[in-house]
Every structure is written in structure tokens, then in C-alpha cells.
Amino acid sequence: MTAPLAERSPIRDAAVRAMLPVAAGLGWTWATIRAGLAAAGEDPALAESHFPGGPVDAILTWIDLANREMEAAAAAEGLDALRTPARIRRVVELRLREVAPHKRALRRALSVLSLPWNLPAALRASACTASALWYAAGDTSADFSWYTRRASLGAIYAATLAWWMRDDDPDLADTLAFLDRRLGDLARLQRRKRRKPAAA
């Protein structure tokens, strides 16, 4: 499992799950946090105790939870028989399907993270999600490729997510076709790099 993006606890996970339908309508606010805690059977007056970072903390907790659930789904499927590109495609699909029922809440979360003062949190979220995707795909590298692989996949996932946010197709066909094109572009780039002769 990848390193935590946010503090983990059963209470926070349950509260965030309960927040999602509220956030879809009201956005990510302190009122949403209190409503989620109440729905999870916790005292809403303890919102600042459970989520000291406020709405951004709740969003990062949700992203971390979705990453963990994606990793668990990939492990349950057993992707070892697939080649690396197919494993990557599948884990990205699993990640999107994990949040698909809460697309409106995700749109509001991305709006919060796009604010300039939330840039550090947004960058952490992107990096942790890319790492979780690679981990779920079976990557165990510990050298410089660890960084380059995550940077490449992070860019592909961000582009795919942006495409999906504009795509109303419930079966993800168009989004997965977009993902296939991006993965194909990356494969062609890597082949060209391997063929490029070394400088004299």
C-alpha cells in the first residue's frame, strides 16, 4: 500500500463517504464535514478535531480512500497475467470507476484544489494518486525510474481525468479510448528514445 496522503482512521473514512452526496450539492465546506460526521454517527461539533485541515483535509482523505479502494480492487482481480500497459489501463479504469458515482462531488473537489493557495495539496494529491496507480499495477522500482514513471503516469491520468470530467458516457468507452491514445503516445515516445543513437 502507498504512503498515506492524509490521516487515516475509520471515523474519517466513514465521514467522508457520508459527505459525498452532500458535497455534490453544497460543495466541500465545514457544513458538509459536519453533515458527514452526523450521518456517520459522530458528533458534528468535533469537525475541527476530526478534520483539522478543514474541507481540503476532507478532500485529501477522500482521494486517499479512493486510492486505497482502487489498490484493493486491483489486488482482488490479480493483474499479474497482463502486460504492463494493460495493467496500467486497468488500474486507471478502476480508479475512475471508484469515483464515478460521485462525479459532481469530484468536480467540486477539483475546484477547491485548483485555488492558488491549495496548490501544494493538489500536487500532493496528484503525486500520491500516480504512485498508487503504479503500485496497484505492480511496480516495485526503487531507482530513478520510480520518479520518471510516476511523472509520466501522473500526466496521463490528469489528462484522462480532465477528459472524463467532460464525458457523460456512463460506460467510460470514450474516456478509455482517450486513455489508450495517451498510452500509445507514451509507448511511441519511449521507443524513439530507445532507438536514438548515443551522442559521440
* Residue-range definition of the domain harbouring residue 93: 10-195
Half-sphere exposure of 145 (CA within 13 A, CB side): 6
Residue 4 located in a structural domain:
no
**What is the C-alpha to C-alpha distance for residues 132 and 112, in angstroms, rounded to an integer?**
22
Q: What is the mean pLDDT of residues 122-135?
A: 92
In a domain, residue 42? The reply is yes
CA–CA separation, 124 vs 89, rounded Å? 22
Q: What is the CATH number of the domain that holds 52?
A: 1.10.357.10
Residue 67 lies in a domain: yes
Answer yes or no: is pLDDT of 105 > 90: yes
- Tell me how many domains the chain contains: 1
Confidence grade of residue 190 (pLDDT, cut at 50, 70, 90): low
Please report whether residue 133 resides in a domain: yes
Q: Is residue 49 part of a domain?
A: yes
Closest by Cα among 20, 14, 19, 52 to 34? 19
Q: Is 5 within the bounds of a domain?
A: no
167 pLDDT band (50/70/90 cuts)? confident
Q: What is the mean pLDDT of residues 106-135?
A: 94
Mean pLDDT along residues 85-107: 93
Residue 3 lies in a domain: no
Q: Is residue 2 part of a domain?
A: no
Q: What is the pTM of this model?
A: 0.89
